[in-house]
Each structure stands twice: as structure tokens, then as C-alpha cells.
Structure 1
Amino acid sequence: MKYQRHIGFLVTMMFVVHAFGVQAQRYTHSYPHYDFIDYEKNQLQYFGTTDHMRGFYKKLDRLIYQGEGQINILHVGGSHIQAGIWSGTVRESLHSLHPGIVAGRGLVFPYRAAKTNTPYDYTVDYGGGWEGCRNVEKNKDCNLGVIGISVTTKRNDAWLKIELKESPTPIDYSFTEAILYHSTDAQSFCFDFPNDPEAVIQTFADQGYSKITFTRALDTLHLQVKQTDSIQHYFTCFGIKLENSKSGIYYNAVGVNGADVPAYLRSPNFARDLQVSPPDLVIFSVGINDALYPGFSPQAYKENYRELIRRIKTVAPNVAILFTTNNDSYFKRRYVNPNGEKVKQAMSELSAEYNAAVWDMYTIMGGRGSIDTWIDARLAKTDKLHFSSEGYRMIGYLLASAIVQDYEKHILANAKR
């Protein structure tokens, strides 16, 4: 049985500070209801304290109540995230919470130039010869950063173009600024922007990025490589963050097909890149590729996560952390993968250790063997590993709902004080 259900985004806004004056607004998204999804379990769980998430929510309070501050959310994963539908649904849901909280689109990458799939909400075009490198390629040493992928050219006439698609919502993701993570040594080509020749470029070579300020709002970034010295012979792009100077939320999603936790540990500049915009909340959705084989070691999995978290905390010591458990899956499309339950337990233990939140997708979707039901409902693909587009939208709505309901508890608790 399937019918329309609503996610109720109740956000209690204390616009007028009185002893008992509270104004409430409700934001709803309609989505199909499925009997096999455990909606009662769709909430954030804590196995330690809630201190770090409360700290994140206080920053959200300041943004919503006072219109001040920029919030950076980083969502890390594999192919589930590279596709952009899951993370994009959460992004648009959070940006719809309240008027005036959209800071910008955040991190993007010219995936097509690396011969891989691009998130659904922007297009990529390019010219010249570009070679990609990904953090899942163990035999390469590409000096990668937070996005975990790069493209390199040796042609001085190469170019890249990223164009934001028009959002189906009223959200405006046009940008007036950008952070370009790129090669900055003396041998690296320079660059400019043909669609805004007067753009101001400030390069911070020791930190591996340039800050670009455009003369007007844009929906397309057009980067043109140029040679200004005979010693220049290459250019590498590690990623781009599309920004504005206004207050709001950046929901930055980084995903590489096939990535496990060790893949991100092979990105030596992961933490350095985060110094530009330290995350306030990190959502970890890395685990499906770690647990894809019978020899999965929960202890090694936790150790790898500890090292990744340690690196992040060097630039964001008080960052809030949210783990999302694996979806149900199969080994080689034939055997039910029992490791989903082991990942769930490992994340519960990490939650207690780091006072992090957990969103238990594994249980919410129905637990062991439930991927078959999702396939029958056309919410998952027949590879018994990935979701369909509609399935990714569904888990995006569910995750957004769980976060906002948890934030609602924070607001209501404060209102009673």
C-alpha cells in the first residue's frame, strides 16, 4: 500500500523574545509512504552525550534567529554521495527550513573531465586533455584533498566549465565568490575566467587554493588555463567551492565511486583543504565499500575512522559528527551481506567514543534482506547495492527529517527553560 505522507519540518522560531512568546512555522515535503520503512525509527540516536550536536544547533539558532554566521556541513561518502541525489535532497530540504539561510552551493568538481559521473544539479564541460586521479586508485600518488579526486592537464589551452542547473525549488545557488583548490607551484599554469575577466584572484600558494571574487552573480564557472612563463607545464584542479559572502548554510558533499575509509586516508591534503572552511557538522556515509566482502574487520574499520576523525579535528576540534549506517546489500548479488549489522554496531561504538549521532538507515529501511523489498518497489537497483534515483531521494528526505526533528527537540527544550 502506498499513499502520500508528509515530513513535518516543525521549526519553532523565537523571533520575539518574551517569557512565553514563541512563533512556529511548519515546512513540509510530500513523499510516498511505504509500509516496509520503519518511520518510527527515523530519528538520530546517541550512544554518548549530545554536546557536540547541541553546539551545532546553537550555531543554527544564531543563523535562524539573528541571521548571522555561516554554517559548513560536510557529507562524506562513496558512490551514494557522488551521484548527488541523496546529499542534494538533504541540502535542498535544509535550505528550505527558513528564508535567507542559503549561503551557496558549496563544493563542486568537474567530474566529467575525470571521465566519471557528475551530480544531477550541475553540468560539466571541458576542453583540452585532462587526466583524472581518484583516491580509490591505490597505485597512484596524486596529492589529493578533501574531495578525493583531481584532474590534471598539460595543455596551456585547456578549460573547464561548471554550470549550475536551475533548481526545481525557489532556491538560488548563484555565486559571487569561489575557492579553487589547485596546484600552486611555479611549474603550474595560471588561469582566468572568460565570463568575468575582471574577477579578482588571490592565491594562497602554501595552502593550495585561490580565492576568486567575481564582479557579479554567476551560475557558470568558466576557468581558462593560460601559460605566463616558460617553466609552466601543467595545471591540476582538486575542487571548487562556490560561495557568497552572505550568511547561511553550505552543504558540501564529497563522494568518490568505490571509496572506503582508507581511500580518504590516502588524501594527504584532506584536512588542509578544510582549513579554509572548517566543518561544523560532518556526516559520515562511508562504509558500504569497507563492508562489501566476507573478511570485513569491524576493528580495522573503527581504527580507520578514528584516524580520519583525528585529521578533521586538527582543524575543527569541536565538530559535530553524524554517522549513517550502511544500507542492506548483497555479496555479488547472490548472498545477503551480514556486515550491515556489524557496521551498525561499529558506528554505535564510535558514537559513544566521539559523542556523535547515528542515523540508522539499515534498520529504517527494514534490516537484513530489505534491499529486495526496495528493489520490488523500484527504490533500489538490481545490483542489490545502490538505490534508484527515487530511492536516493527517499533516504534524503528521511535523513533531513531526522535531523530537523532532532533540532526541533533542541528548540523546544530551550523554550521551556
Structure 2
Amino acid sequence: MTLLILTFWCQVILGQHQFDQDSLGAVHPFLHLESNTLILPGDTAGWTSFFCRIRQLARDSAGRLEVMHLGGSHVQGGSMSRQIRYRFAALVGDSTGGSPGFFFPYPLAGTNSPREIRASSTTPWQGSRSVKRDQPSPFGLSGVSARTDRAYDMVDLHYMDADTATFTGVRIFGRSLQANYTLAPLGWSCPDTIVSDSMAGFQQWTWSEPQRLLSFQILPATPTMQDTFVLQGIQYLHPGSRLIFDQVGANGASLASTLRCEGLAAQLQFVTPDLVILGIGVNDANVPNGEFRADRFQAGYDSLLTLFRTARPDVRFIFLTNNDTYYKRRQPNRNALAVREAMKELAIRWNACIWDQFEVMGGLGSIHAWHKAGLAKRDRLHFTPAGYTLIANLFMDAVEHTMASCCPPPTTAQP
């Protein structure tokens, strides 16, 4: 009965947006917009409370929402995550577009980066990913690391995104492998407090005034001491922000590579989102048709979500089914269908939502139409910036429609 009521409400809300949906469907007839809603296969009561809390944030000056987007190259590229952040910011009434929380400064690792993340160092650092078993560790939440053995090397980091560029605190996650190196802040304003946590592997600096540029230097214990410093991620702290957005993505990431990160559990004690958007699955399914192991996939997600729930018992999850892809650019990857079924079972087990990205974008083989429309790249796997923005908007339309069905907006009294 609950599911029937929810479906009815979704149809009502979708009807209110019918003009926009019709226009989009006319431009891109391959989309299955009738499927664009969140699927709630479990208990809806908790989700109703969660969505009402989000709606309340838009009316109250207190409180905040922290959202994490977790995935692979779709996240590392930045376009999809950026648009999701903007849309969530609008939902909670954050006029700044949302504030960055946890992220990795990809330029230090010599890899592609979201356009807003700028980072430079005096000398080149060596980048590694947990995806590559032969690359040096340790890794943390991000699944990416950058390392240097150069004492006195200096780093500048700037999040170039308009109103969200400031922070009053920062956690720098990383380790000196022999404990001979430490980090020293640089710049015009010295931190008011400096705290170190050796277990989670971070230094935390706080300022009384907002900062725009993060600069630091690698310092040895003695001038002749040698060591290696490994950077694992950055977390900006914004006590007054309504929306905090954690962007956690590494090219090629799978459940196996994510669980391989030694510092994952410890760092999740300090990066504690209210909602995690789960986009891991494309690389797990990038095997010949029929060779995808649903049992291993589900076991991997069970292990990962247990870590999140251990750190924060009330965290909510939304699974994104895989986008349609071609296996080795030759044929549609039917493993996406098996991933979707596996996620449905996981959603019941974890009382999570599902957004059926695979179906909404058009189903099996639809990535070809996306490519012809200029929305997907030639590899039939990744999207263009316009395609990522469209995917993000479709996802957020589903979130907003479902939120309205679970927690209808207050009606305005008539005079």
C-alpha cells in the first residue's frame, strides 16, 4: 500500500513538471522519462523523515546537509558532481552553491581534475591509484595519492568555485612514512589552532577568518632527514554552510579497489555524510557478458556500506545503476542488467533508494544515441560535459519529485 501511495504521489508531481519533461523528451526521444523517479523498495518512513528534513533546511537558518558522491571517472571528471552539488544547494536554500568538503587535489597526482580544483607544487609529485595493485600505497578514502620525498617542497591549493572558495578549517589527510616529515602552514594568516591525529592520519588547522588559498610546506625533523610524504585527501571545514559536498572519485574505481584503501575506515570517522550517492559499478561490470559475479558485487557493497554505517548509523544511500556502456567499444554490456538486479537486492537490505540511470537514459544500447546527440564520448562509456550535466539534472529531478511525494511542500494560504 505504501508503495502504491508513493507511486501515485510521484505521478502527481511529475504531472506538475509535464511541460519540462515533454520538452526534454522531444529533444531527446531516446530517454525513458516515465521511469525517472527514485525507487524505494524498503521502508519509506525513514526516507519520508529524511526528505522532510531537507525541506526544513530551506526554511531554517540552522542545520546543514552533507552529501557524498562516490564513484569512478564519472565523479573524478567533476561535471556531474558539480551539477548535483548546485541542485542540492538550491534544495536546502544555500545561495553559495554549496561548499566543498572532502576531495582530492588531482593535479598533484598528475591526472585529470575538475576545473575548480587547482593545485601546484614546487617539484612534481608521484601519483598513484588503488586501482593499480602494483602502485605504492597507503591509500585513504579518495583511492588516490600523491607522494614526494622532497623536503621543503611547497604546495598551493585553491578551490576556484566562486562563493564556495573559502574555508575556516582544513584537514590534510596524509602520512609521513617514517614519521620524519611534518607539514607547516604558509601564507599571510597562521592557523589559530593546529591538531594532529596519527590514527586517522591528518593535521587539522583552523582560522578565525575565512581563507581562500591553502599553502603548506614539507618540513623534515632535521635538515638532513629523508622520508616520503603521502597525501591522501583534503577536507575543507565550513561551520556555517548549509550544504557540504564530498566528491570522492578515482578513475577505474571498483568495489575491490575501494576496499583496498587502508585508511578508509579511519577517515570515515571524520568524513560523515548524511547521504551517499553510490556510483560504483561500471568498472566491476566491465567484463565479458555473463562473467559478472553478482554475489561478489553484493558482498563488496555490504562491506563498504558497513564501514559507512559504523561511522554514522543513520547515513542514507542512493544507488545509481550503471549507465549503458559498450564492452570494449564493440557491443552493449549486458552486465548492466545484472548490476541493476543486484542493486535492487542491496537496496532492500540497506533500506536504500535506487535511481535507475540505465533505464532512464534509454536502456540497453542507448549510449549510441547519446553519442549521436553529442552527449557521450566515442568510447561509449563516458559522457561529454553536456551529457554529465543532463545525467545530473535527470537524477536531481528524480530526487526532487520523490521528495515532493514523500514530503509535499507546504501550501500557501490564500488571502
Give the Cα–Cα distance (whole angstroms) in 2 for the partners of residues 349 and 414 of structure 1.
34
Partner of 2:254: 260
* Per-residue deviation, 1:245: 1.4
Q: Is the 8 A contact 2:92 2:243 kept in 1?
A: no
Partner of 1:14: none
- Whether 1:74 and 2:68 are equivalent positions in the alignment is yes
* Per-residue deviation, 1:375: 0.3
Q: Equivalences for 1:164-175 in 2 at 5 Å? A: 164-167=159-162, 171-175=163-167
Moved more, 300-309 or 59-68: 59-68
Flag structure 2 segments of 5+ consecutive residues without an equivalent.
1-12, 14-19
Q: Is the 8 A contact 2:55 2:92 kept in 1?
A: no
Give the Cα–Cα distance (whole angstroms) in 1 for the partners of residues 255 and 151 of structure 2.
35
Q: Equivalences for 1:1-16 in 2 at 5 Å? A: none
Q: Is the 8 A contact 1:174 1:219 kept in 2?
A: yes
- Whether 1:187 and 2:179 are equivalent positions in the alignment is yes
Moved more, 153-162 or 389-398: 153-162
Q: Is the 8 A contact 1:46 1:356 kept in 2?
A: yes
* Per-residue deviation, 1:212: 1.2
Which of these residues, 404, 408, 413, is aligned with residue 404 of structure 2?
A: 408
The one-character-per-residue Cα deviations of 1:197-246 (angstroms, maximum 9, x if unpaired) are 41132112222112211353233222222224355622221100122111
The one-character-per-residue Cα deviations of 1:342-368 (angstroms, maximum 9, x if unpaired) are 111111111111111000010000000
The one-character-per-residue Cα deviations of 1:316-349 (angstroms, maximum 9, x if unpaired) are 1221110000011111111111111111111111
Q: Is the 8 A contact 2:32 2:359 kept in 1?
A: yes
Counterparts in 2 of 1:413 and 1:99: CA distance versus 1, 3 Å = closer
- Whether 1:363 and 2:350 are equivalent positions in the alignment is no
- Whether 1:274 and 2:263 are equivalent positions in the alignment is no
Moved more, 372-381 or 142-151: 142-151
Give the Cα–Cα distance (whole angstroms) in 1 for the partners of residues 95 and 262 of structure 2.
32
Which of these residues, 347, 352, 373, is aligned with residue 351 of structure 1?
A: 347
- Whether 1:205 and 2:189 are equivalent positions in the alignment is no
Counterparts in 2 of 1:249 and 1:232: CA distance versus 1, 3 Å = farther
Give the Cα–Cα distance (whole angstroms) in 2 for the partners of residues 113 and 162 of structure 1.
9
Which of these residues, 46, 54, 61, is aligned with residue 60 of structure 1?
A: 54
Partner of 1:328: 324
Flag structure 1 segments of 5+ consecutive residues without an equivalent.
1-9, 11-27
Q: Is the 8 A contact 2:158 2:165 kept in 1?
A: no
* Per-residue deviation, 1:104: 2.0
- Whether 1:386 and 2:382 are equivalent positions in the alignment is yes
Partner of 1:214: 207
Partner SS, residue 75 of structure 1? strand
Counterparts in 2 of 1:100 and 1:77: CA distance versus 1, 3 Å = closer
Q: Is the 8 A contact 1:196 1:215 kept in 2?
A: no
* Per-residue deviation, 1:140: 3.8
- Whether 1:118 and 2:113 are equivalent positions in the alignment is yes
Partner SS, residue 206 of structure 1? coil
RMSD over aligned Cα atoms: 2.4
Counterpart of 1:57, as a letter, is F
**Structure 1 segments (4+ residues) deviating >6 Å:** none
Counterpart of 2:62, as a letter, is E
Give the Cα–Cα distance (whole angstroms) in 2 for the partners of residues 37 and 220 of structure 1.
42
Partner of 1:87: 81
Give the Cα–Cα distance (whole angstroms) in 2 for the partners of residues 300 and 267 of structure 1.
18
Q: Is the 8 A contact 2:48 2:407 kept in 1?
A: no
Partner of 2:126: 131
Counterparts in 2 of 1:142 and 1:387: CA distance versus 1, 3 Å = same
* Per-residue deviation, 1:52: 4.2
Figure out how many residues of one structure are paired with residues of the other and give that number. 386
Q: Is the 8 A contact 1:193 1:224 kept in 2?
A: yes
Q: Is the 8 A contact 1:118 1:124 kept in 2?
A: no
Quote the sequence identity (%). Answer: 30
* Per-residue deviation, 1:406: 1.9
Partner SS, residue 88 of structure 2? helix
Give the Cα–Cα distance (whole angstroms) in 2 for the partners of residues 403 and 106 of structure 1.
21
The one-character-per-residue Cα deviations of 1:295-332 (angstroms, maximum 9, x if unpaired) are 21112111111111112211112211100000111111
Normalising by structure 1, we get a TM-score of 0.86
Q: Is the 8 A contact 2:281 2:339 kept in 1?
A: yes
Q: Is the 8 A contact 1:121 1:165 kept in 2?
A: yes
Partner of 1:96: 90
- Whether 1:237 and 2:220 are equivalent positions in the alignment is no
* Per-residue deviation, 1:99: 3.5
Partner SS, residue 412 of structure 1? coil
Moved more, 90-99 or 292-301: 90-99
Q: More strand by proportion, 1 or 2?
A: 1
Q: Is the 8 A contact 1:59 1:71 kept in 2?
A: no
The one-character-per-residue Cα deviations of 1:372-391 (angstroms, maximum 9, x if unpaired) are 00000000001011111110
Moved more, 70-79 or 376-385: 70-79
Give the Cα–Cα distance (whole angstroms) in 1 for the partners of residues 249 and 272 of structure 2.
18
- Whether 1:43 and 2:59 are equivalent positions in the alignment is no
Q: Is the 8 A contact 2:130 2:257 kept in 1?
A: yes
Q: Is the 8 A contact 1:63 1:247 kept in 2?
A: no
Counterparts in 2 of 1:224 and 1:97: CA distance versus 1, 3 Å = same
Q: More helix by proportion, 1 or 2?
A: 2
Normalising by structure 2, we get a TM-score of 0.86
Counterparts in 2 of 1:276 and 1:157: CA distance versus 1, 3 Å = same
Q: Is the 8 A contact 2:279 2:320 kept in 1?
A: yes
Partner of 1:286: 280
Counterpart of 2:199, as a letter, is D
